[in-house]
Structure 1
């Protein structure tokens, strides 16, 4: 397997899952800050022009965080990244989709790439502030509707935890915003996992 990633991007969540699986994989850097996602070479791999991308051992390519996370959990059941029960699986996938489809773009992309949300540069500070407010709202919602104990779902550590990890990491380590106590405790628990430590070290990210 090969993971196309960029340091600090949401691809770190998939990197964590690959480390948890424990099967051999390679890393291919796609430097978003250098617009590497827009090169013809990368667009030939993923026409969507974004990471993460997982190239499977048969050469086929899988895109979109939720799909990759689900595939890793289903393909390698011994890693126990997906609950065994289909209803619990749906809960985990629903959580991942909330992170990738709502929290990430509306809460954090607004802060990191405000120019995508307005044609007027003078309005970008307002976009950033809106992103901060939405991120806080979303994390409070996660805290209020938390179903699990230490981990997101009651059945234990899963793909949902790797998804939450990248946004809570951004919130605390990159933005410096306050987060609910449960989210803060989850981040600390994630940072203590060897798989997370390996993924961060490989990307040059602070633990």
Structure 2
């Protein structure tokens, strides 16, 4: 059995979907319909009791969870794809970037926008929660933009799994939240959307490019 990605269309799992497409080896997709609460049902919780995507069932049947871990494992076990630097400094910088995109920008910037009721017991406060999320996302994106290197990609060494991690929050900002990305990130999003692997992943998930 090939690796199987458990995903929900348009969720952060799209970044791992892109990594799999970049690698170019056979894999399978398993839909987790989060809109219907499938992440909380026994079938999926037996795969990932954290009730989150992405999860990756590997060929040996073991399961990996958490975006940075899955992305790093895929990159390091497929070195020909050149999706992570081979030097220690480059690898930890890739991990640092992914941790920020998935562990800070995602929850503080966008979970508050997409699931505001999780953050307040008062329905009247929901608009405030959404605005707090947008303000946080703007702040985080501005920070990334201000510290951008002179190249086209997140790391000076070139395209990597860190770009797939940045992509999904950029995509959410531009396509779901109606936000204006700072210039370097707006340009990065366009470069990502032009990549064949990204186009294939979006098409497979029924998402607009």
**TM class by smaller structure:** over 0.9
Pairing 1:12-161 to 2, within 5 Å after superposition: 12-161=14-163
Question: Which consecutive segments of 4 or more residues in structure 1 shift more than 2 A?
Answer: none
Partner SS, residue 46 of structure 2: helix
Match in the other structure for 2:204: 202
| Displacement after TM superposition at 1:20 (Å) | 0.5
TM-score for the superposition, normalised by structure 1: 0.99
Match in the other structure for 1:183: 185
User: Does the 8 Å CA contact 1:19/1:199 hold for their aligned counterparts?
Assistant: yes
CA distance in 1, matches of 2:52, 2:154: 26
CA distance in 2, matches of 1:148, 1:60: 39
Match in the other structure for 1:174: 176
| Displacement after TM superposition at 1:148 (Å) | 4.9
| Aligned length, in residue pairs | 207
In structure 2, runs of 5+ residues without a counterpart are: none
| Displacement after TM superposition at 1:147 (Å) | 2.5
In structure 1, runs of 5+ residues without a counterpart are: none
Offset from partner CA, 1:76-118 (integer Å, 9 cap, x none): 1110000111101111110000011100000000000001111
What RMSD, in angstroms, separates the aligned Cα atoms of the two structures? 0.7
Shift of the 38–148 alpha-carbon distance from structure 1 to 2, 3 Å rule, reads: farther
Offset from partner CA, 1:35-91 (integer Å, 9 cap, x none): 010111100110000100000011110000010011011111110000111101111
User: Does the 8 Å CA contact 1:3/1:27 hold for their aligned counterparts?
Assistant: yes
TM-score for the superposition, normalised by structure 2: 0.98
CA distance in 1, matches of 2:92, 2:65: 19
User: Does the 8 Å CA contact 1:148/1:156 hold for their aligned counterparts?
Assistant: no
